[in-house]
Structure 1
């Protein structure tokens, strides 16, 4: 009888070992790829998972691994910010209006889980925060006058070799020393100070507020053309050969993209030449890959697709506004999804956001 029970006992021990191994694999290799909202729910799974997720090394690893765009911050001028996601169960923030900050703010830019905001009153101070952890820092006053509506881009690239969250802010502002010129000021968290670049771009066209994106060491802003500033080379150039319509600049697969509505569809252009950072782009053919046409699902829209407005583009997703509603289109799955949050039609731009545990 004892011999007859041994196989069952052995299989039970084997299944238990396999379960433990699978649990360890999930904890060690899968958890870092999950968004912060899911991880907060998993804190109550067991003591081991709670200790794992709360570990600073895990937090640092998650900020590197979880790089997908999972939500969008939006803000109507003069009102509090709001947050929307195509998967609210997976992605969210405790306080979408960011009332944990000491002042009422305007959201300017986002990068890998961090937000750059500016106070609405007083000296218009800049703040860097993580809306998930509600950690924040107030930055020192810039040396230059950035104007009432600064064109600021936040740059934060998590690195396995750097445990601290080093980030930069780049602001393109109208020159006060030269007519029809744009200058640049950069804040470095490592230095803890602002520095005005010696680079000057002579152009009579100003950049659009909140239009900037950062791609592989270069910051791009919409203007009459596209203003590009290379941080490494400290060089700038106005790229004129593009068609924007009512579209936005974004990032897809590590490249600059431009998405805009045309008729009943959306056109998406992706920067073709990865060596464009040398600032030698001169023709449309050398700048862009072949256009990709996107058509939203009429069944989801509930009627004729018209009056489209692309308000954000990041990862493989387009955030589109139409007839007072917001929709997300996935370029990989070709799926159109309606968001529960209605649009007022007054959004100047929605800012893509990654749900990260990154510490400030």
Structure 2
């Protein structure tokens, strides 16, 4: 029985990009659909309701990019062509990923960024904003794809927060306009006396950008900024405020092994941030329940070994929170997933895969397989020679 156009569109809008790309070559109707703006809006919105199924892994310095599935038995589910991974590995340092789009620093010229959709094999170059390019400043990138058909396909939030190159409490914030292809000033971030941690990506929730400061002991005890804290920047009114970290998280913060990072917790209307502390191979997690009074709920405190990660000479090479509910942990050789939500019986570690960056610190970014366009000026990625 033949499907009518409406049913056909509904069914295909719920398929992953990998399946749609395969159908394009054998199905004329699917090929036409994937070129329709309304269909792409609907498909990307549907994919936002699903959890990210893959993640990128890359060493802290520019190197080969690995893409892995979260499901150990489904290695081929990522749906990203070899050409896209070749392009990323040879020209990109992954900075952020959201709803199928990936923002990278161009490692060929070091003076530009690019946005790409690995599944669709398209990319668009983005100039580096003057506040970063002119002074070689450290900067932090936030990429958030908007939800809903009315805000799609060209609109996404791409924000850079950068220092001014000196020991200053004021950071500049700029946002990129995809339609005009220019950077626009969006205010000053008051960051206090501490530096923003280079290893923690910003978190965006309902118009607020959250930034984690570093832990280094360079301030005196008399300073109100002696302990690490979180900067919350309201993009609508350019207002900054500071959130205290939990008292239990402050113990041993100046220890060399101590790392504090923030991530998105849950999704939708219940979204918040969580704080993850790693010290001497012990993970501790708190969820923010009241940002006005810096109230936190303790979620977890457990040694990596007690989780079930049993490796000789265990070293944690990197970690992140994925889908707002799971801790993704990289050791020297393997990747593990530990669920933070659910009961005690659900909290068990699962080995996801191995990786090739042995002995190096790694960065992890979640990835969702969609056909979301990169915007005006997008071109096909450079394919490797066969």
> Between Structure 1 and Structure 2, whose CA radius of gyration is higher?
1
Paired residues, number? 332
TM-superposed deviation, 1:258? 2.3
For residues 185 and 353 of structure 1, the distance between their equivalents in structure 2, rounded to whole angstroms, comes to 24
- Aligned equivalents of 2:85, 2:117: Cα separation in 1: 10
Match of 1:156 in 2: 145
The more displaced of 165-174 and 195-204 is 195-204
> 1:90 is matched with which residue?
77
Deviation at 1:49, TM superposition (A): 4.8
**CA distance, structure 2, for counterparts of residue 65 and residue 94 of structure 1:** 22
**Residue equivalent to 2:218:** none
Q: CA 1:300/1:225 → structure 2, altered by over 3 Å: closer, same or farther?
A: closer
Q: How does 1:1-360 map to 2 (within 5 A)?
A: 27-43=8-24, 47-49=28-30, 51-52=32-33, 55-67=36-48, 68-76=51-59, 77-87=61-71, 88-95=75-82, 98-100=85-87, 104-145=91-132, 147=136, 149-175=138-164, 179-211=168-200, 212-223=202-213, 224-242=228-246, 243=249, 245-253=258-266, 254-261=271-278, 266-273=283-290, 276=291, 281-283=292-294, 286=295, 288-293=296-301, 301=309, 308=316, 311-315=319-323, 316-322=325-331, 324-331=333-340, 334=347, 336-342=349-355, 344-360=358-374
Task: Identify the residue that residue 219 of structure 2 maps to in structure 1.
Answer: none
Go from structure 1 to structure 2 and tell me whether the alpha carbon gap of 1:247 and 1:95 turns closer, same or farther (over 3 Å shift): farther
Task: Describe the shift of the 1:180–1:219 C-alpha distance in structure 2 as closer, same or farther (beyond 3 A).
Answer: closer
Deviation at 1:233, TM superposition (A): 2.1
Distance 1:49 1:73 in 2: 28
The match for 1:4 is none
Q: Partners of 1:99 and 1:125 in 2: how far apart?
A: 19
Q: CA-to-partner distance for each residue in 1:111-150, whole Å, 9 max, x for gaps?
A: 2211111122435201111111121111234121363542
Please give the TM-score of this superposition, normalised by the length of structure 1. 0.77
Q: Is residue 263–residue 306 contact of structure 1 (8 Å, CA) maintained in 2?
A: no
**RMSD across aligned positions (CA):** 3.5
Mapped partners of 1:44, 1:50: distance in 2: 7
- SS in structure 1 of the partner of residue 150 of structure 2: coil
Secondary structure (helix, strand or coil) at the match of 1:89 reads coil
The DSSP-based 3-state class of the residue aligned with 1:106 is strand
Runs of at least 5 residues in structure 1 that lack an aligned partner in the other structure: 1-16
Q: CA separation of 1:304/1:269 partners in 2, compared to 1, >3 Å: closer, same or farther?
A: farther
Query: How far apart are 1:297 and its partner, in Å?
Result: 9.2
Determine which structure has greater relative contact order: mean sequence separation of CA pairs < 8 Å that are 6+ residues apart, divided by chain length: 2
SS in structure 1 at match of 2:45: helix
Q: Distance in 2 between matches of 1:344 and 1:23?
A: 51
Q: Is the 8 A contact 2:161 2:171 kept in 1?
A: yes
> Is the alpha carbon distance of 1:208 and 1:50 closer, same or farther for their aligned partners in structure 2, counting shifts above 3 Å?
same
* Pair 1:161–1:319, CA change in 2 (3 A): same
When residues 299 and 45 of structure 1 are mapped into structure 2, their CA distance, relative to the original with a 3 A threshold, is farther
Please identify, of 142-151 and 350-359, the stretch whose mean Cα deviation from structure 2 is larger. Answer: 142-151
